[in-house]
Structure 1
Amino acid sequence: MKDEFDRVLIRSLIEVDIDNAEKFLKFINEIINDPSAKVSFNKQRVINEEKMWLKEVIGLINQKKMVQMVVFLDNEVVGMSDVTLQRERKSHVGEFGIALTEKARGRKLGSKLAKAAIEESMNLFGDRLRVIKVSFPVSKNQVKDFYKSLGFIEVAIIPDQYLFDELEAETVIIKRI
């Protein structure tokens, strides 16, 4: 009998993933529909938008400006995490993001995925990367412990940054490299 982690694959986004855009579309629309995810985007995507997004991200990866990791469970996309290097005077800062479907949560996949994205970004960006920054709605305060376990520290709470049912503050945390 296979153990659960035999059914898990974490890897970088690659060009052939464009041919499997439906898997990524299913993932992102599930995240958008999940009220507990509280992501910043709120409109369902269609296949052409997803293909365009995948091409754009792969372009950034090829330019060494972004790391995008994907976690598959039983060949289904259940999570993605990225680190995007900022530009100009912020070019030492990587913006971090992570999203997991409900199916992936509580299985330690988020931790494995985040560590893979951070490690890959440190390898790709090298000495250019000095800070990794992540922000999230204050109401998702439970994720703060997750980020702290990865070495992040809270640095700010900024009011009125998200609009869900009402305006909500944003927590900003960083990890120094």
Structure 2
Amino acid sequence: MNKQSGSLNGTVVKDFEIDESKVVFRYPNMEDIDDLLEYINSLIEENTFICRKEKVERDDEVDWLKNTLKEIEEKRKVHLVVEFDDKVMGSADVKKKSGKQSHVGELGIGLRREIREKGIGVRLMKSLIDEAKSVLNLEILTLEVFEKNKIAKNLYEKVGFKKAGVIQDKFFQNDEYQDSIVMELDLRD
């Protein structure tokens, strides 16, 4: 489906193979609900560097996905899922800010443990950045990352993000406070 004229639900942005496994980056659709629920709960079980602590119930995930699909349709968000051998194993999104910040988007990304360190994250980030520029017409992307999440910081730096600041003690994980590193990418260059 043409991005300019219709729904993006399920639209493939990129596909390739890694280690004889098929990888697809595409927009989500309602059929993804069970994979997405399993994906987010796997990150929570692993105690990854995400803000959520409690497992997600299916009804809450359905509401979240319906809202996400609406935001995509209204061009307030781009959201890509990572399909690895026909199963959703990751996702990434950019949400457009409003008002005087409508040229700015906030980015988030996550991958299940099984597909990390295969080069998927860099490819996903590049595809997501392209979508943010072309679909949302954004000029600046921002994100926050846990200070101890070295792998994520390295990924963000590989695609051009730079440290913009620090929010002291923003996160509390594993009985300790962690700073939030704020990063930005200027898309106007």
TM (normalized to structure 1)?
0.91
* Pairwise CA distance, 1:86: 0.7
**Corresponding residue for residue 49 of structure 2:** 38
Calculate percent identity across the aligned residue pairs.
26
CA apart distance, 1:75:
1.1
Structure-2 separation of matches of 1:66 and 1:3 = 28
Segments of 5+ residues of structure 1 without an aligned counterpart are none
Secondary structure of 2:160's aligned partner: coil
What does residue 39 of structure 2 align with?
Answer: 27
> 2:23 corresponds to which residue?
8
Letter in 1 for 2:183: I
CA-based RMSD of the aligned residues comes to 1.4
Q: Which residue of 2 aligns with 1:120?
A: 131
- Counterpart AA for 1:119: D
Aligned mate of 2:179, from 152, 169, 175: 169
Cα offset, 1:167, TM superposition? 1.8
Displacement after TM superposition at 1:5 (Å): 5.7
Report how far residue 141 of structure 1 moved: 2.8
- Alpha-carbon separation, structure 1, partners of 2:151 and 2:111: 15
The residue aligned with 2:168 is 159
Q: Please tell me whether the aligned partners of residues 144 and 180 of structure 2 are also in contact (alpha carbons under 8 angstroms).
A: yes
Count of residue pairs the alignment pairs up: 170
TM-score by length of 2: 0.85
For 1:100-139, list aligned pairs within 5 A: 100-126=111-137, 129-139=138-148
Are 2:133 and 2:139, in contact at CA under 8 Å, matched by a contact in 1? no
SS at match of 2:113: coil
1:19 Cα deviation after fit: 3.0
SS in 1 for 2:124: helix
1:86 is matched with 97
C-alpha distance in 1, partners of 2:50/2:118?
A: 20
Higher helix proportion (structure 1 or 2): 1
Moved over 4 A (4+): none
Matched with 2:6 is none
**Which blocks of at least 5 consecutive residues in structure 2 are unaligned?**
1-16
Deviations 1:30-85 (A, max 9, x none): 011112x2101111011111111100000000000000001111111111010100
SS in 2 for 1:7: strand
What one-letter code is carried by the residue in structure 1 that aligns with 2:182?
V
Distance in 1 (CA, whole Å) between partners of 2:161 and 2:76 is 21
Tell me the amino acid that sits aligned with residue 25 of structure 2: I
The partner residue of 2:155 within 140, 146, 149 is 146
Find the residue that maps to 1:57 and give its secondary structure. helix
